[in-house]
Amino acid sequence: MSTAATTPRGVPDASVARLPGYLRALTAMSQDGTASVSSEELASAAGVSSAMLRKDLSYLGSYGVRGVGYDVGRLASEIASALGLTKDWPVAIVGMGNLGRALAAYRGFAERGFRVIALLDHDDRVVGEEVAGRAVRPMTDLEVLVEDHGLAIGVIATPPEGAQAACDRLLAAGVRSVLNFAAVVLAVPPEVTVRNVDLSTELQILAFHGHRGDVAEAVAP
Amino acid sequence: MSTAATTPRGVPDASVARLPGYLRALTAMSQDGTASVSSEELASAAGVSSAMLRKDLSYLGSYGVRGVGYDVGRLASEIASALGLTKDWPVAIVGMGNLGRALAAYRGFAERGFRVIALLDHDDRVVGEEVAGRAVRPMTDLEVLVEDHGLAIGVIATPPEGAQAACDRLLAAGVRSVLNFAAVVLAVPPEVTVRNVDLSTELQILAFHGHRGDVAEAVAP
DNA sequence: ACGACTTTGTGAAGGCAGGCACAAAGTCGC
DNA sequence: GCGACTTTGTGCCTGCCTTCACAAAGTCGT
């Protein structure tokens, strides 16, 4: 139809990536008892410009009142709905190493409608072990989890060597959304969404900027 | 003085964010004994297009040989140098909750020249406790760590409520690069670089795509 | 009831990033 | 030594994302 050819109903990816930030700010305001908010206030709480916020919201519809602002509860609900957070999202964590165990113990998932329904590991010596009050299950359980429990999101917390295999198992079972903590590029068909989180990468980017700061100082003393 | 006005010597931020991926692929190739690589091969290993890879590398200089490709070792070394990875980067982790402890136990830091030199917590009940073979130190140690040990990067793994305070302490001590795991927008002066890693945000973005997939299916059966 | 004021929603413009395609430059076979 | 071939480096072009700026639309005071 018109612009950003990204998602069916035309919400640009860059915009989608900011929606969770808006939702977070709105939730905090709601808990503070704030009932109404202007684009300026919400934008500053979310760390973006007000023009960008308004444009992002305009992709979802017209939920503000001119001259007044946005109803906090209403807007939060609209954003949650746009993100698909009206239902619970079952999540499975694959790989019970250091990181996997930390993720399993992390309580931040449930807060926003993500329910960890299973912890899995490829290694028979780990399967059966109890982690965060739950028994670790074998990879062969994946099919059942997808079909009987609607598992939709897989979190990969394996070592790099095992990540592609873990991913393949997830996809074979029918999972189409993957959050990957392993430092590898996963090969997946185009209908699958992968998001990567990598500490080393983030630190290296920080190193670049810290380094550049040093150079700038040295050049202009 | 031509295009992307991002960093002094003009490497666009988008390009910098991909360099760690190239470095990773090159390191893996080097360990496999591969001596030379074409832009096509390296690009596919890093999950980008070959044109983009070549453009990214061109910001750093001309390190390839036409008709042949790139020397793996040489290119890795040039990228590492551009990222500022020639020296060790001392890192401190603030906040010894679940996530902080997992990060403290994570061995991936040292691999690429990042050295965790201290674990800190704001809570007196946690200070002194041993985590990953190291005593947790109080926030008041920050100044000494910066001045005597060259601490440059702070990792914030506190709960959201304490993140801004932790950040302020880091900045006051002289740290100018922050990796933030807390789900809040940190207020910092412009010379400070902050990178945010947030699980909830990533999962919500995945939820959007999974959700959208459902809708597309329902619309066109 | 009307006018001044506030704030949203959006058309238009500018800038940056990604992809294409080709000239430049080097290697290899004969 | 020369021609055919391979692969890099890069100018240009296209399209998306962001910012600007303003009209539309609603509120509030009088």
pLDDT for position A1? 39
| A115: number of Cβ within 10 Å | 12
| Residues packed against strand C, CB within 7 Å | A 38-40, 50-51, 54-55, 57-58, 62-70; B 3-6, 12-15, 48-49, 51-52, 54-55, 65-68
Task: Answer with the residue of higher pLDDT: A213 or A32.
Answer: A32
pLDDT at A7 over 90: no
Nearest nucleotide (CA of B3 to C1'): C16
pLDDT at B27 over 70: yes
| Smallest Cα distance from B177 to chain A, Å | 6
**Both tokens assigned to B109:** 């830091």
pLDDT at A206 over 60: yes
Domain ranges of chain B: 13-83, 89-201
Reported confidence tier of residue A9, pLDDT bands at 50, 70, 90: low
A89-201 falls under which CATH superfamily? NAD(P)-binding Rossmann-like Domain (3.40.50.720)
d(C-alpha A213, C-alpha A211), whole Å: 5
Give the single-character DSSP code of A183: S
Annotate B98-142 with DSSP letters as a single string. HHHHHHHH--HHHHTTEEEEEEEES-TTTTT-EETTEE-EEGGGH
Q: What is the mean pLDDT of residues A182-201?
A: 96
Q: Which of B97, B15, B91, B2 minimizes the C-alpha distance to B53?
A: B15
Nearest nucleotide (CA of A38 to C1'): C7
Task: Answer with the residue of higher pLDDT: A215 or B168.
Answer: B168
Q: Look at B111 and A200 and tell me if their CB atoms are within 8 Å.
A: yes
Helix (H, G, I), strand (E, B) or coil at A69: strand
Kindly report the CATH class assigned to A13-83: mainly alpha
d(C-alpha A24, C-alpha A99), whole Å: 25
Chain B residue closest in CA terms to A209: B193
Strand partners, B93: B119, B155
Give the single-character DSSP code of A37: E
Find the Å distance, CA of residue B51 to C1' of nucleotide C20.
9
Residues A67-105 pLDDT 10s:
999 999 999 999 999 999 999 999 999 999 989 999 999
Nearest nucleotide (CA of B64 to C1'): D8
| Parallel, antiparallel or unpaired: strands B177-180 and B153-156 | parallel
Helix (H, G, I), strand (E, B) or coil at A196: strand
Reported confidence tier of residue B214, pLDDT bands at 50, 70, 90: low
Q: Look at A106 and B199 and tell me if their CB atoms are within 8 Å.
A: yes
Dihedral over Cα of B180, B182, B183, B188: its sign: negative
How far CA B108 is from CA of A42, A166, A189, A201, B103, in Å, comes to: 37, 20, 28, 11, 9
How far CA A72 is from CA of A45, A59, B159, B201, in Å, comes to: 13, 18, 24, 19
Chain A residues close to B197, C-beta within 8 Å: 197, 199, 202
Q: What is the mean pLDDT of residues B4-16?
A: 72
Reported confidence tier of residue A2, pLDDT bands at 50, 70, 90: very low
Q: What is the mean pLDDT of residues B103-111?
A: 84
Find the Å distance, CA of residue A34 to C1' of nucleotide D29.
25
d(C-alpha B117, C-alpha A103), whole Å: 24
**Both tokens assigned to A208:** 């670049």
Residues B49-106 pLDDT 10s:
999 999 999 999 999 999 999 999 999 999 999 999 999 999 999 999 989 999 999 8
Nearest CB among B24, B183, B207 relative to A84 is that of B207
Residues A116-130 pLDDT 10s:
999 999 999 999 999
Reported confidence tier of residue B117, pLDDT bands at 50, 70, 90: very high
Residues A121-162 pLDDT 10s:
999 999 999 999 999 999 999 999 999 999 999 999 999 999
Looking at every residue in chain A, the average pLDDT score rounds to: 92
Find the Å distance, CA of residue A66 to C1' of nucleotide C2.
19
pLDDT for position A134? 96
**Matching residue, tokens 């979190």:** A155
